[in-house]
Chains A and B, each alone.
Chain A
C-alpha cells in the first residue's frame, strides 16, 4: 500500500498513500457514525470520508500538504473503526498513518521536539536493555513514596499537562518481566504444541503481571512457551508517530528472529503488537522475501484468537464468580477483526457472567500518545466509554491491550467507579490453578 517510489501529486515519493486507495472511497459516509473524532467535532474534515478526501486532494494537487492535513493525520486516533465500517474496503486510518510520516518529511517539527522524538523512537524503544533501565527511576520514585507526595501536592500542576496525566496513569510498577522470564516454559498436561511468545515493551515494563499470566495460561493449556530474550519493540509506536523507517528495521529484526525459532505459532497478549506484527507483511513488502513474510504472517495470533482456535481446556479451572463486561481494543477488533473470540473465552471461564456494554468496540480514547496530546478530547471519549461501562453494573471491566488498560484503569479511578480493570489473561490466570 505505501512504499511508492513515484511521486504522487503533492506527496513526497517515500511512503505516500497509493492513489487507488484514496480513489476507492465512494463517499457514502458509512464510516461517519463510527468515527470518534467526527462524533466529537461534527466537522467533515475530522471524519474518515473527509480525511480520505484531503489525502485525495493532495494526491491530485488540489491541495498542498498543509498544516491542517498534518493536524488531521495526528488527530485521527488510528482506531480503524472506519475500516470495519467501510463496505468499499477503504482504510482511512492507515492512509492517515502514512500521512503522519509524510508530515515529518514535509513539515518537520521544531528542533527540540524532533530530537526528543528521535531519542525515544530511534534510541530507546529499539533497545530493550536501555528501555528497562530507563524505567528504574520511575520505580524508585514510586517505592520511595515520592509519588504519593507529588500526587497529593500540587507540584505537578506546574509541569506540562501531559506529565501530570502520565504520572496519574502509571500503574504500580514491578520489575520488568523480560529478564525474569525463562526462555522456555514447558507445557503442562497433555502437550499440544510449541508457541513463541512475543513480549511487548509496554507489557514487560508496565504490565509484567499480565504477561506472566499469559505464558502461565499458555503452558497450562498444553503449549511449550518460548520467549526470545532478544525480541525488540514491534514497531507500533513508530508507525503511530510516522517513523516508518525505524518501524521497518525493527520489523525485519523480529521477522528474522522469530522465523529462526522452531515454533508453531507466535502469540502475543498485546493487541497493538499483534496488529503491528500482522502488518509486517505490508510494511516489509519488497524488503523481505514474499514467502518468508507470508510464513511469518500465518503464525501470528493474538492470545485470545489462539486459545479460541485451539480450544480452551476448561477442566480443572477454578470458578470466578463475577460479572464481567468487555471493552474491545481497537487494535484487536478493528485492526485484527477479533471480536468473537475474547467473548467466547470469557463465557467459558466457569462462574463468569458476561454483560455486554453498549458500544463495546468504541475507542476508549487512549490511542498511543493521542490521549496525552489531546487530553481534553480524550477525556470526552473516555467519559462516553465509562458511562457505558457503569451502565452494565459489572464487577470487572476486562480488556486486552495495555494502552486501553492504562486509560480505563485511570478513568475508572478518576470517576470513582467500582470496576476492577483486568486484562483478559489476568482473569483467565485467576481461573488457572498454580
Chain B
C-alpha cells in the first residue's frame, strides 16, 4: 500500500490536481484497449513536465512502487495495464508541441501530444509527418514510439521508428537521458534511441520526442477495389508489389468488417463483397499517373469485381477514416474483440487468407479480418464473448495454429502492437529462449531494480522454464 506521506509528497511536487488515488480514478486506469485485462494501480499521477516525471519516479522508487507509463491507453497488447499495481504515470497532460523546425525538417513535442495534432500542426507549415496509426486521433506520440506504431501509410513511408530523431527520457535510476539529435547521421556509440523505440515502456519514460518531417507528396490517387474472393485481393497485393509499385496505402477489409464499418459510417460500402482494398498512390503527379495506371491494370488482370476511384481528397479522406474505425466497428457484433497482429512476407498473403478461413471453420468462430495488407500485417479479429470460457479457448487455439503457420512462413507474431501482456508466449516461440535472455539482460541494464513496467514483453521468472521454447535464436527483421 502506498503511504499517506508518499501521496502528500506527490501532491507537493506535482500539484494536488495532478495526483489521483480515489478508487474511481484508479479503476479507469486499469485497462487499455486490450480485451480481458484489468489491474488497478495504487496511485496515478499526471505530470505536466519532465521535472514532474522525475519527481514521480523518485518517489515511486523510494516507496518501492512499480511504475507504469501510460499515453492514451489505446495499446492493443496490454502495455499500459498495471499488472503489478503501483503507480501509473499518465502523460496526456504533457501535450505541447515545442518546436517545428523548418530548417532541419524536424518537430519536437512532449510525449503526450496526440499523433493527429502533430500531423495537423506540421501540415499547416507545409510539412508531412507520415506515421498514421488507426488510432491517430487518440494515441500519443510517446505511445507510438514505445509501440513503434505503424499506420495506413506504413507501406511506403515506414513506421514510427523511421521518423524518430531524438528522445528525451527519464530512466528508472532517476536520470534524464537525451539520445539522438537533429543531425541526420549519427553513429556515436550504441543507438539508445533505436533500443528505446518499441521497448513498450520497459526501459525508460519518454518525456519528449523529436521526429523527422518530410515534404508532402504533391499528388495522390485513391482507389477502392472490391473482390468476390478475399484470396484474389491478397493476390492483387502481391502482384502490385511484385510489379515494383509501392503505393502509400494498401489496406484490406473482409466482408464482416465491411458490414460493421458500413453500419457505422453509412457511406454505401457494398455489403455483399468478400473483400475490399483501399489503395492510394502518391508522389510527383507524373509518377502518380504511371503508378495508378499500373495498379489499375493489375486489379483488372486479377479480376477485381469493381474498381472505384475517389473523386476528390474529401472522399479519399472519408474512406481512410472509415478504414480506421474497423476494429471498433467490429465490436458492434460481440462484446469482445480479440485482435491479432500476424504479419507475413507479402508473397504469402493469399495463403494467409486461406489459412484464416480454414481455421475459422475448424474452430467454428466468427472472425473479421482487416489490416495493412501492403505490409503483410493482418488483424484477424475473433468476435467473441469473454464470458464464454469455451469460446475463448477455441479462440486461443485458433491463434495458436495461426501463429505456428505464420512463424513457419517466416512471419512475425507482432507487426505493430507489441508483445505487452498478450503475446509473451508467442515471442518466446519466435525468437527462442536465447533471444528472450538477451532482451532481459538489456532490460536489467536499464532497470536493475525491475520497477519499470514489470511483467511486460517477458515474464519476470526465468523464461527457460516455459514450454514451447526452442533453444537458439532467430533474427526476425
Interface residues of A (CB under 8 A from B): 20, 23-30, 32-33, 42-45, 47, 49-50, 53-54, 57, 62-63, 66, 68-69, 72, 86-89
**Residues of A with C-beta under 8 A to B336:** 26
Chain B residues within 8 Å of A50, by CB: 28
**Which residues of chain A are within 8 angstroms of B72 by Cβ–Cβ distance?**
29, 32
Whether the pair A44, B138 counts as a contact (CB closer than 8 A) is no
Report if A69-B24 is in contact (Cβ < 8 Å); known contacts: A23-B335, A27-B31, A89-B264.
yes
- In the complex, whether B25 has a CB less than 8 A from a CB of chain A is yes
**What separation, in Å, do the CA atoms of A86 and B264 have in the docked complex?**
8
A-contact bits for B311-348, CB 8 A (1 contact / 0 none)? 00000000000000101110110011100000000000
**How far, in angstroms, from A49 to B138 measured CA to CA in the complex?**
12
Residue among B73, B327, B332 making CB contact with A44, cutoff 8 Å: B73
CB neighbours of B430 from chain A (8 A): none
18 pairs, A vs B, C-beta closer than 8 Å? A20-B335, A23-B335, A26-B327, A26-B331, A26-B337, A27-B31, A27-B73, A28-B328, A29-B33, A30-B138, A30-B328, A42-B46, A42-B90, A43-B20, A44-B28, A63-B24, A87-B332, A89-B332
Q: Report the bound CA distance from A205 to B328 in whole Å.
A: 44
10 residue pairs, one from A and one from B, having the closest CB atoms: A87-B328, A88-B331, A26-B331, A50-B28, A87-B325, A68-B24, A87-B329, A29-B138, A23-B335, A44-B28
Measured between alpha carbons, how far is A27 from B34 in the docked complex, in Å?
8
Q: Which residues of B contact A62 (CB under 8 A)?
A: 27
| Contacts of B107-166 to chain A: CB distance below 8 A | 114, 135, 137-138
Chain B residues lying within 8 Å of A44, measured Cβ to Cβ, are 25, 28-29, 73, 90
B138→A33 contact, CB < 8 A: yes
Contact present for B31 and A88 (CB under 8 Å): no
Kindly list chain A residues whose C-beta atoms are within 8 Å of the C-beta of B138.
28-30, 32-33
Contact in complex: B33, A45 (CB < 8 Å): no
Report how many A-B pairs have Cβ atoms within 8 Å. 91
- Bound together, the chains give a CA A68 to CA B23 distance in angstroms of 9
In the bound assembly, the distance between CA atoms of A68 and B138 in angstroms comes to 25
State the CA gap A63–B38 with chains docked (Å): 14
CA distance A25 to B336 in the complex (A): 9
Give the residue name and chain of the A residue nearest to B386 (CB).
A23
CA distance A68 to B331 in the complex (A): 28
What 1/0 flags go to B29-47 for Cβ under 8 Å of A?
Answer: 1011101000000000010
Kindly list chain A residues whose C-beta atoms are within 8 Å of the C-beta of B328: 26, 28, 30, 86-88
Residues from chain A with Cβ under 8 Å of B114 in the complex: 33
Complex CA distance for A297 and B135, rounded to whole angstroms: 36
Distance to closest chain B CB from A62 (angstroms) = 7
Does B22 have its Cβ within 8 Å of any Cβ on chain A? Answer: yes
Whether A24 lies near B335 (C-beta < 8 A) is yes
Q: How large is the interface on B (under 10, 10 to 19, 20 to 34, 35 or more residues)?
A: 35 or more
Given contacts A53-B27, A63-B24, contact A28 B74 (CB under 8 A): yes
Of the candidates B73, B93, B114, B327, the one having the most CB atoms from chain A within 10 angstroms of its own CB is B73
Complex interface: chain A residues within 8 A of B27 (CB) = 45, 53-54, 57, 62-63
Given the complex, which residues of A lie within 8 Å of B137, measured CB to CB?
A: 30, 33
Chain A residues within an 8 Å CB radius of B90: 42, 44
B93 near A45: Cβ-Cβ < 8 Å: no
CA of A12 to CA of B52, assembled, Å: 42
Q: Mark B90-102, 1 if CB is under 8 A from A, else 0.
A: 1011000000000
**Docked complex: B69-88 residues within 8 A CB-CB of A:** 72-74
Q: Is the pair B73, A42 in contact by a Cβ cutoff of 8 Å?
A: no
Q: Give the Cβ gap from B37 to chain A, nearest Cβ, in Å.
A: 10
A-side binding surface: helix, strand, loop or mixed? loop
CA distance A68 to B31 in the complex (A): 19
CB neighbours (8 Å) of B22 from chain A are 68
**Contact residues in B for A54 (Cβ distance below 8 Å):** 24, 27-28
Interface string of B260-279 (1 = CB under 8 A from A): 11001000000000000000
Q: Is the CB of A45 within 8 A of B332?
A: no
Residues of A within 8 A of B24 (CB): 45, 54, 63, 66, 68-69, 72
Known contacts: A53-B28, A57-B27, A62-B27. The answer to whether A28 contacts B46 by CB under 8 A is no
Inter-chain contacts of A26 with B (CB < 8 A): 33, 35, 327-328, 331, 336-337
Chain B nearest CB, measured from A258 CB (Å): 29
In the bound complex, residues from chain A placing their C-beta under 8 Å from that of B329 are 87-88
Give Cα A216 to B102, complex, Å: 58
On chain B, the residues within 8 Å of A66 by CB distance are: 23-24
Q: Is the CB of B331 within 8 A of A45?
A: no
Other than A33-B137, A45-B28, A87-B331, give 14 A-B pairs with Cβ distance below 8 A: A20-B335, A23-B335, A24-B331, A26-B327, A28-B328, A30-B325, A42-B46, A42-B90, A45-B24, A45-B25, A66-B24, A86-B328, A87-B328, A87-B332
Closest Cβ–Cβ distance, residue A204 to chain B (whole Å): 36
Shortest beta-carbon distance, B77 to chain A, in Å?
Answer: 13
Closest to B27 in A: A57
Kindly name the residue among A24, A28, A30, A88 whose own CB sees the greatest number of chain B CB atoms within 10 A. Answer: A28
Contact residues in B for A43 (Cβ distance below 8 Å): 20, 25, 46
For window 333-370 of B, CB contacts with A under 8 Å fall at: 335-337
Cβ contacts under 8 Å, A69 to chain B: 24
Q: How far is the CA of A117 from the CA of B25 in the complex (A)?
A: 30
- Return chain A residues, CB-CB under 8 Å to B35: 26
Pick from B73, B93, B332: contact of A88, CB under 8 Å: B332
Q: How far is the CA of A26 from the CA of B35 in the complex (A)?
A: 7
Instruction: Enumerate chain B residues within 8 angstroms of A28, measured Cβ to Cβ.
Output: 33, 74, 135, 138, 327-328, 331
B23 to chain A, nearest CB (A): 7
CA distance A63 to B27 in the complex (A): 9
Distance to closest chain A CB from B366 (angstroms): 15
- A69 and B22 CA atoms in complex are apart in Å by 11
Q: Looking at the assembled complex, report how far the CB atom of B381 sits from the nearest CB atom of chain A, in whole angstroms.
A: 10
> Considering only CB atoms, which chain A residue lies closest to B329 in the complex?
A87
* Chain A, Cβ-Cβ closest to B93: A42
Shortest Cβ distance from A26 into B: residue: B331
Which of A20, A24, A44, A63 neighbours the largest number of chain B CB atoms within 10 Å of its CB?
A44
Q: Using CB atoms, name the residue of chain B closest to A20.
A: B335
Q: Determine the chain A residues whose CB is within 8 A of the CB of B74 once the complex forms.
A: 28-29
Bound: A23/B328 CA distance, A: 13
B110 to chain A minimum Cβ distance, whole angstroms, is: 13
Q: Look across to chain A and name the residue whose beta carbon is closest to the beta carbon of B70.
A: A44
Nearest-neighbor residue (CB-CB) of B20 within chain A: A43
Instruction: Across the interface, name the chain A residue whose C-beta is closest to B264.
Output: A87
Contacts of A30 in B (CB 8 A): 137-138, 325, 328
Q: Could you tell me the distance between the alpha carbons of A32 and B117 in the complex, rounded to whole angstroms?
A: 14
With a cutoff of 8 Å between Cβ atoms, the chain A residues found around residue B25 in the complex are 43-45
Q: Which residue of A lies closest to B48 (CB)?
A: A42
Whose C-beta in chain B lies nearest to the C-beta of A27?
B33
- Chain A residues with Cβ below 8 Å from B73 are 27, 29, 44
Q: Which residues of A contact B92 (CB under 8 A)?
A: 42
| Smallest Cβ-Cβ distance to A53: which chain B residue | B28
How far is B114's CA from A42's CA once the two chains are assembled, in angstroms? 12
A45 to B90, CA, bound (A): 13
B367 to chain A, nearest CB (A): 16
- How far is B114's CA from A306's CA once the two chains are assembled, in angstroms? 39
User: Which residue of the partner chain B has the closest CB to A69?
Assistant: B24
Q: Which residues of A contact B332 (CB under 8 A)?
A: 24, 87-89
A54 to B24, CA, bound (A): 7
Q: How far apart sit A42 and B93, CA to CA, in the bound complex (Å)?
A: 7
A residues in contact with B32, CB < 8 Å: 27
Cβ of A88: which chain B residues have Cβ within 8 Å of it? 328-329, 331-332
- What distance in Å separates the Cβ of A377 from its nearest Cβ neighbour in chain B? 14
Complexed CA–CA distance, A23 and B327 (Å): 16
- Nearest-neighbour CB distance to chain B for A128, whole angstroms, equals 39
B1-58 at interface with A (beta carbon < 8 Å): 20, 22-25, 27-29, 31-33, 35, 46
Complex contacts, B327 vs chain A, CB 8 Å: 26, 28
| Alpha-carbon distance A86/B329, docked complex (angstroms) | 8
Residue from A27, A32, A54 whose CB has the most chain B CB atoms within 10 Å: A27
How many angstroms between the C-alpha atoms of A29 and B143 in the bound complex?
A: 14
How many whole Å from B298's CB to the nearest CB in chain A? Answer: 31
